[in-house]
Structure 1
Amino acid sequence: MKPVLLWSDALIFMLVVALILFFYKLRQDPQTRERWGEVFSSRLGMVAFTVILTYVGVALLDSMHFRKALENPEGLQTDEIFYDNKVTSALDVMLQGMGDRFERTYSAPFALISFEKKNMKDDEGNSIRDYPELEHAGTHLSDASQQLADVMAKTLVALMWGLLFSLLAIFPQWLLLRSSPNPWYASWGVQAVVICFFTWLICISHHYHVLGTDRGGADVAYQSLKGIRTGVLLGTLSTLIMLPIAVTLGVSAGYFKGWIDDLVQYLYTTLSSIPSILLIAASVLLFQVYIDLNPDFFSIGMEKADARFIALCFILGVTSWSTLCRLIRAETLKISQLGYVQAAHAFGVSHTRILTRHILPNVVHIILITFVLDFSALVLAEAVLSYIGVGIDPSMGSWGNMINGARSELSREPAIWWTLTGAFFFMFILVLAANLFSDLVRDAFDPRTASRRSES
């Protein structure tokens, strides 16, 4: 195989390394470690964090790309190795070909026949119009009446394997963390559920389409899992691009005041006055023109899709900083008038030291809360942008593209609901976990919340 490193792959690996270094640094700051300890001292914090880590883990597996080596054609004697144009990920290998089992068109979850009729020939050679059997679902059954018993039996076997894998994964953690005061059992419960779910999904998908298929016959469950990488990366990268702009401008406006404050207010007021959807759509379309005019820069189609994805992250980050900038400016204005900041000015402390020692630490709670909330909002924004046709490239797995493709399916009779359901389920779990985790971070890092707890 030939490894393929996309720009988005490199960025997600850098994010994971930064996350590891961040938690390592926490051990050197007792106060910060204590606050994060409050977040993880609750069962809800453990559950939400484990869910978020699960999504990050799936995104990591889907970011390990490579191209498979092809066999040389018969009669061709050469030492040159030819590679498939299709880019495969480690997640595709773990799912054991779920994305390669295509049907002709729509099929319902666990169905054995297609959702649409087609012209067929009966045993006597007469032309009839009926529902054809699926090529990759229930082919091992001799009779359709055996389906329920077969699904139940395979589910039982898959859950037994899932429990075994869960035990192997959780037992070492229990040995290391059994004396910890944090409720790790809540995290272990979520890990067991996740492992059992993925084991069941992989086992069942060999014989059935768990969430059916879409118009092109692709497995909807596979598409939903492929959308995890896009959602996690887009929300994280866009937020990280937005944060430095918002923090720098907000702190500068609130601390220095004067013409700097006027300039920053003018910038975010002007940006807020422009319809964000139109601004983002125009920027994405301009970059798409650049990609179309420079095809030599991209050796494979996946690189074009990745370039458009990175551009979308950058555009979302650059156009989404105004709200956080307002909040940080207002908080900095208040903090800069407090007694200890005025005392620092009187003693001749430099502006840089005041900003790093007194201002920034007191706005960290706003930054952390906004980071998680904006992450959720940007994940949802991608679905809206894809719905209007300016989001992720159709060749990339995306919940937004799934929702965009499902908008005409719900108006059919009977409705095709499973495409929208698959995207909604995985998006809902991620956004819910992020919002619950942000509430706990706010309670732990907000100074006003901490003061109310100390008074009580």
Structure 2
Amino acid sequence: MMDSMMPVFLWTDIMIWGLFILIVMGIVQILHDPQKRAQWHSVFQSKTAMVSVLVLLVYFSIALLDSVHFKNTPDAQDVTNSNTHKELISVLDMGLEHLIQNTERTYSAPFALHEYSSTVVYGENGQVQQVYLPLKHVAQHIDMDKSLVTYDVLTQIVWALMGALSLLMGIAIFHSYFYLNSLARQTAEVKQQRLPWGMAYLTLFSITFIGLAFYILSFDYHVLGTNKVGEDVLYQSLKSIRTGVLIGGLTTVVMLPLALLLGISAGYFKGWIDDVIQYLYTTLNSIPGVLLIAAAVLVMQSIMSTHADWFGSTEERADMRLLFLILILGMTSWTGLCRLLRAETLKISQIEYVTAAKAFGLKPFTIIRRHVFPNLVHLILIALVLDFSGLVLAEAVLSYVGVGVDPTMPSWGNMINQARLEMAREPMVWWSLVSAFIFMFILVLAANLFADRVQWVLNPRSEK
């Protein structure tokens, strides 16, 4: 299938892979610096930090898989009919192709065999009946026998458990070979500061087991149910991970240079430079954030509607809207970090070693690079991770009021926006809202817990 498809590079694909390269470069730099390596070793000595990083790694990996796109070509004869209506498909779509194929007619609850709402049908004698129609793509291998569903689900869960244990044993053997060799060369002091590998393996096993169980069961059941048009909610939730990671991660990258430049400049140089920067972010903060973002999004939508010929497909149009939203959020979210860096730089610039550096005639940018910036790193990291969490939540709010990502793009905000009407139904449709909430909650919680540990370790004035 790969030979009959043409790779497509969306703007957000390039940006998220660029972010991945930056993260790898940062890790390499940390590994080559003994002081930084010792600091981050202390970060990962916390069980909470280890668990949080593994969860964030899973989310980011899913986002990367969903950021490698291919375009269907006319001679793609081996592409299934379920994907022909999609102009662009990702590697994640290929792995979840069965979820795209198994689209039902309307709502169905998790692990249900019949539709959630009754349908009016006419009998042979013209009698009107209210019946719950059976689903088309569920439990066909057991002929939709309700009595066999529990046994079948438990059997598939056991297979997922065996697969998770086998994979974990392979990873443990591979890890032990290198870890035990390095442990023999370590000193007694280093051995006392070992990482919580037991918790790491327990977390990895839990993630692998849950993922395998959901994936195996998704071939025969709608694990998280279906929405109004019969689309699988598990597929929607997984596809929404990319949108959440993009908005949270790339927006922080967009706002970081502006916040660093203006915040440090205002705190170090003071005078008229400080006055101008304060006036700038005070004026920007005086405008309600939602209104400012909504106005910018509406202007962007008007421009895109006027120039519809710029986009070759609906996916490219939705991606461009997501890119503009990231830029808009980045240009309006830098003020908080800027104010924090300004205040901290004002404090650091009065410390004795900075005053001594000025007396020795060092240039301002040298002083900033050697003495000011290293003491701001912990604040930058904690602020970025907290802003990441806030931006993931902000996407849900913006989509709820209609100025978020494109309605055709999967996102937790769009799922919550659609669920507000579903919650008023009778019977109530709850699984779309719960699924979006759980996926978003896990991501935000992991980011916040990791940020708390990073702040505690890297803050030079914290009491260890």
Computed over aligned residues only, the root mean square deviation of the Cα atoms, in angstroms, reads: 1.7
What's 1:44 paired with?
A: 48
Shift in Å at residue 122 of structure 1?
4.1
SS where residue 194 of structure 1 aligns?
helix
| Change in CA separation of 1:62 and 1:348 when aligned onto 2, cut-off 3 Å | same
What's 1:80 paired with?
A: none
What's 1:225 paired with?
A: 238
* Per-residue deviation, residues 351-383 of structure 1 (Å, max 9, x unmatched): 110111111111111100001000000000000
Equivalent AA in structure 2 for residue 267 of structure 1? L
Equivalent AA in structure 1 for residue 352 of structure 2? G
SS where residue 408 of structure 1 aligns?
helix
Higher mean C-alpha displacement, 328-337 vs 289-298: 289-298
How many angstroms apart in 2 are the aligned matches of 1:349 and 1:312? 41
Equivalent AA in structure 2 for residue 112 of structure 1? L
Q: Does the 8 Å CA contact 1:120/1:130 hold for their aligned counterparts?
A: yes
How many angstroms apart in 1 are the aligned matches of 2:125 and 2:215? 39
How many angstroms apart in 1 are the aligned matches of 2:159 and 2:259? 52
* Per-residue deviation, residues 103-136 of structure 1 (Å, max 9, x unmatched): 1111111111111111224466644221111111
How many angstroms apart in 2 are the aligned matches of 1:131 and 1:84? 29
Of the candidates 350, 353, 367, which is equivalent to residue 354 of structure 1? 367
SS where residue 221 of structure 2 aligns?
coil
Q: Does the 8 Å CA contact 1:69/1:84 hold for their aligned counterparts?
A: no
* Per-residue deviation, residues 210-242 of structure 1 (Å, max 9, x unmatched): 110111110001100111111111101101111
Shift in Å at residue 33 of structure 1?
1.8
Alignment of 1:12 with 2:25, yes or no, is no
Q: Does the 8 Å CA contact 1:85/1:300 hold for their aligned counterparts?
A: no
Alignment of 1:164 with 2:177, yes or no, is no
Of the candidates 28, 31, 36, which is equivalent to residue 32 of structure 1? 36
How many angstroms apart in 1 are the aligned matches of 2:11 and 2:76? 30
Q: Does the 8 Å CA contact 1:70/1:84 hold for their aligned counterparts?
A: no
How many angstroms apart in 1 are the aligned matches of 2:302 and 2:39? 48
What's 2:27 paired with?
A: 23
Shift in Å at residue 177 of structure 1?
2.8
SS where residue 448 of structure 1 aligns?
coil
How many angstroms apart in 1 are the aligned matches of 2:26 and 2:101? 39
What's 1:110 paired with?
A: 111
How many angstroms apart in 2 are the aligned matches of 1:198 and 1:60? 17
How many angstroms apart in 2 are the aligned matches of 1:171 and 1:287? 53
Q: Does the 8 Å CA contact 1:241/1:314 hold for their aligned counterparts?
A: yes
Q: Does the 8 Å CA contact 1:68/1:84 hold for their aligned counterparts?
A: no
SS where residue 67 of structure 1 aligns?
strand
How many angstroms apart in 1 are the aligned matches of 2:169 and 2:405? 38
Of the candidates 286, 299, 313, which is equivalent to residue 300 of structure 1? 313
Q: Does the 8 Å CA contact 1:96/1:202 hold for their aligned counterparts?
A: no
Q: Does the 8 Å CA contact 1:67/1:84 hold for their aligned counterparts?
A: no
TM (normalized to structure 2)?
0.92
How many residue pairs match? The answer is 442
Q: Does the 8 Å CA contact 1:224/1:426 hold for their aligned counterparts?
A: yes
| Change in CA separation of 1:174 and 1:428 when aligned onto 2, cut-off 3 Å | farther
SS where residue 119 of structure 1 aligns?
strand
Residue identity (%): 49
What's 1:324 paired with?
A: 337
Shift in Å at residue 394 of structure 1?
1.6
Shift in Å at residue 45 of structure 1?
1.4
How many angstroms apart in 1 are the aligned matches of 2:75 and 2:28? 46
SS where residue 447 of structure 1 aligns?
coil
Shift in Å at residue 4 of structure 1?
1.4
Shift in Å at residue 411 of structure 1?
1.8
Equivalent AA in structure 1 for residue 169 of structure 2? L
Alignment of 1:136 with 2:137, yes or no, is yes
Equivalent AA in structure 1 for residue 222 of structure 2? H
What's 2:281 paired with?
A: 268
* Per-residue deviation, residues 242-282 of structure 1 (Å, max 9, x unmatched): 11111111111111111111111111111111000000011
How many angstroms apart in 1 are the aligned matches of 2:390 and 2:461? 25
Equivalent AA in structure 2 for residue 92 of structure 1? D
What's 2:99 paired with?
A: 98
How many angstroms apart in 1 are the aligned matches of 2:109 and 2:444? 27
What's 1:77 paired with?
A: none
SS where residue 23 of structure 1 aligns?
helix
How many angstroms apart in 2 are the aligned matches of 1:445 and 1:164? 37
What's 1:419 paired with?
A: 432
